[in-house]
C-alpha cells in the first residue's frame, strides 16, 4: 500500500461533545438519546439510557463516535441521531477522501497513540486538536475499501466467538438465580452484611494508580477498566507502568486473589484477579476488593456483584463530577447476603465448570485477536 500520512482533521469533520443543561435530562424517551461517555457504548452502536430535550451537539447516521475521556479511543457507530455529551466526539468523512469503514479501522488502529495524548489529574482527556493532528495512512479510496473489508471479515470471526462467550457468561447468573433467587429460596440462615465487613484483616477496598504515565516495556502490568470487560483478564496486553510510579501505590498492588470492580466508565464490571497477576497494579478507575475467604467464597461473591439488584445500586450511587464515578464509600456500603459456606461452595463448584469452558473460548478469542492485530499492523504499515 502506497499512502501518505494525513492528519485526521484534513479528511474528517470532528464534532466535540457538549453537555446539555442538567434539567433537560430524562429517562422517558423525551428528545434525543444522550451519550455521556463510554458507559453509554454498546458493542457496535450506543445503548444510552438517558435522553435530553435540549440537545447540544448531535451526531448523524454513520458518524464514528469516539470516547475522549477515561477510556479514550473506544468506538461506536451512530445508527441514529444522538446528543454527544462532553465525554465523546463524533467524526464524519469530509471531502470524499476517506471511506467510512476505513475511518473506523484507522481510529481503532490509532487508539493507543490517541490515549498517549491524554492529559488530566482525575482522568485523562484528549482535545479536538489531539484528534485532528492524529496522522493516518491515506491510500486511494478503492484500497481503503479493500483494507476495511479484510479487517471486517476478521472482525466477524471475533464477534462470533464473542457471542459464544457472552452466552456462557449468562450461565453464571442463571445458576445463581436458580440457587438463591428461585421462587421459594430458603434464606432463614443467610447473613446480611456490607462489603466492608468481608474484607480480609489488615487490608481494605481501594482504588489504584491515579497518574500511571506512559507505558514502558519493562514496567509493572496495570489492569484498567477495559481489561475487565472480558470474562478473563487478557494479561498479555496490559499497559505497563514504571516501577518508580508503581512503588507509590503499593496499597493497591494485587496479591492475585481479589475481586476487581470498575468504578468509572463501565461502572460495575466485575473480574477476578488470579495468581499470575500477583504483583500487578490497578488503575484509578478500578477498585480492588480483597475478601476474607473464611467468610465468603470469591466466586460466589463476584457473581452476586453482577446481579441486577447490585448493578442497579452501583448505577444509582454514581457521582457525576466530570465522569460518573462509583465512590469507595458506596462500594463499601454495598449490601450482600451470605448463605452458609457449604451452599457457597456448591455454587462455586457448578460455576467452575462454566469457567473452564470460558477459558477455552477465551484462548480461542486470543488467537483471533492476534490474527486481527497482525492484519491491522500490516494494513497501517502499508504492507497488506
Same domain for 245 and 362, yes or no, is: no
The average pLDDT across 149-172 equals 88
Query: pLDDT value at position 384?
Result: 65
**pLDDT of 203:** 94
CATH number at residue 163: 1.10.287.1120
Query: Tell me, what's the pLDDT at 123?
Result: 77
Report, as an integer, the average pLDDT of 45-65.
Answer: 94
Q: Domain boundary residue among 109, 131, 153?
A: 131
Query: Residue 118: CA atoms inside 13 Å, Cβ hemisphere, count?
Result: 25
Same domain, 87 and 205: no
Alpha-carbon distance values, 99 to 85, 138, 140, 152 (Å): 25, 10, 10, 13
Per the structure, how many domains does the chain have?
3
Which helix or strand (DSSP H or E) is residue 25 part of? strand 25-26
DSSP character at residue 264:
B
Whether 276 and 355 share a structural domain: no
Question: Which of 92-101, 195-204, 260-269 has the least mean pLDDT?
Answer: 260-269
Is residue 125 located within the same domain as residue 164? no
pLDDT, mean of residues 154-180 = 88
127 and 208 in a single domain? The answer is no
Domain containing 24 equals 4-131
Note the pLDDT of residue 296.
96
Are 196 and 308 contained in the same domain?
yes
On the question of pLDDT at 1 being above 70, the answer is: no
Supply the pLDDT for residue 336: 95
What was the pLDDT predicted at 182?
64
Q: What are phi and psi of 32, to 5 degrees?
A: -110, 135
Question: What CA–CA distances, in Å, run from 320 to 15, 36, 323, 326, 367?
Answer: 23, 11, 6, 9, 38
Reduce the DSSP state of residue 226 to 3 states and report it.
helix
The predicted-structure confidence for 59-109, as pLDDT tens digits, reads as follows 999 999 999 997 899 999 999 999 999 999 999 999 999 999 999 999 999
Q: Are residues 218 and 285 in the same domain?
A: yes
Considering the domain architecture, whether residues 124 and 175 belong to the same structural domain is answered as no
Q: pLDDT digit string (tens) for 312-361?
A: 999 887 665 556 788 899 999 999 999 999 999 999 999 988 888 888 88
User: What backbone phi and psi angles, to 5 degrees, belong to 89?
Assistant: -135, 150
Give percent above pLDDT 70 in the chain: 94
Helices 141-180/341-380 angle, 10° precision: 180
Tell me: do 208 and 310 sit in the same domain: yes
CB 185 within 8 A of CB 243: no
The set of cell numbers assigned to 55 is 440537545
Amino acid at each position: 500500500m502506497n499512502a501518505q500520512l494525513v492528519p485526521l482533521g484534513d479528511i474528517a469533520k470532528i464534532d466535540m461533545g457538549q453537555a446539555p443543561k442538567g434539567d433537560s435530562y430524562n429517562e422517558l424517551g423525551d428528545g434525543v438519546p444522550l451519550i455521556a461517555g463510554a458507559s453509554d457504548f454498546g458493542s457496535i452502536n450506543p445503548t444510552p439510557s438517558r435522553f435530553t430535550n435540549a440537545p447540544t451537539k448531535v451526531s448523524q447516521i454513520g458518524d464514528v463516535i469516539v470516547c475522549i475521556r477515561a477510556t479514550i479511543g473506544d468506538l461506536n457507530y451512530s445508527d441514529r441521531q444522538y446528543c454527544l455529551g462532553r465525554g465523546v466526539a463524533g467524526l464524519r468523512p469530509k471531502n470524499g477522501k476517506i471511506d467510512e469503514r476505513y475511518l473506523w479501522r484507522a481510529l481503532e488502529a490509532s487508539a493507543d497513540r490517541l490515549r498517549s495524548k491524554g492529559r488530566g489529574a482525575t482522568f485523562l482527556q484528549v482535545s479536538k486538536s489531539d484528534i485532528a493532528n492524529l496522522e493516518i495512512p491515506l491510500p486511494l479510496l478503492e484500497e481503503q475499501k479493500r483494507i476495511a473489508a479484510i479487517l471486517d471479515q476478521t472482525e466477524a470471526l471475533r464477534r462470533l466467538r464473542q457471542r459464544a462467550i457472552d452466552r456462557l457468561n449468562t450461565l453464571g447468573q442463571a445458576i445463581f438465580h436458580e440457587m438463591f433467587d428461585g421462587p421459594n429460596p430458603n434464606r432463614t440462615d443467610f447473613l446480611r452484611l456490607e462489603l466492608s465487613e468481608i474484607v480480609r484483616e489488615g487490608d481494605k477496598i481501594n482504588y489504584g494508580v491515579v497518574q500511571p504515565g506512559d507505558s514502558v516495556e519493562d514496567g509493572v502490568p496495570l489492569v484498567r477498566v477495559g481489561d475487565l470487560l472480558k470474562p478473563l483478564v487478557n494479561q498479555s496486553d496490559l499497559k505497563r507502568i514504571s516501577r518508580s510510579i508503581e512503588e507509590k501505590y503499593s496499597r493497591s498492588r494485587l496479591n492475585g486473589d481479589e475481586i476487581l470492580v470498575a468504578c468509572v466508565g463501565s461502572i460495575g464490571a466485575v473480574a477476578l484477579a488470579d495468581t499470575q497477576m500477583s504483583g500487578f497494579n490497578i488503575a484509578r478507575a478500578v477498585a480492588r476488593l480483597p475478601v476474607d475467604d473464611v467468610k465468603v467464597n470469591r466466586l460466589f461473591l463476584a457473581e452476586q456483584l453482577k446481579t441486577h439488584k447490585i448493578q442497579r445500586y452501583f448505577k444509582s450511587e454514581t457521582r457525576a463530577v466530570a465522569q460518573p464515578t462509583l465512590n469507595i464509600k458506596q462500594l463499601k456500603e454495598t449490601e450482600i447476603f451470605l448463605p452458609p459456606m457449604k451452599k457457597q461452595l456448591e455454587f462455586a463448584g457448578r460455576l467452575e465448570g462454566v469457567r473452564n469452558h470460558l477459558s477455552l473460548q477465551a484462548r480461542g478469542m486470543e488467537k483471533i485477536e492476534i490474527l486481527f492485530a497482525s492484519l491491522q499492523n500490516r494494513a497501517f504499515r502499508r504492507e497488506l
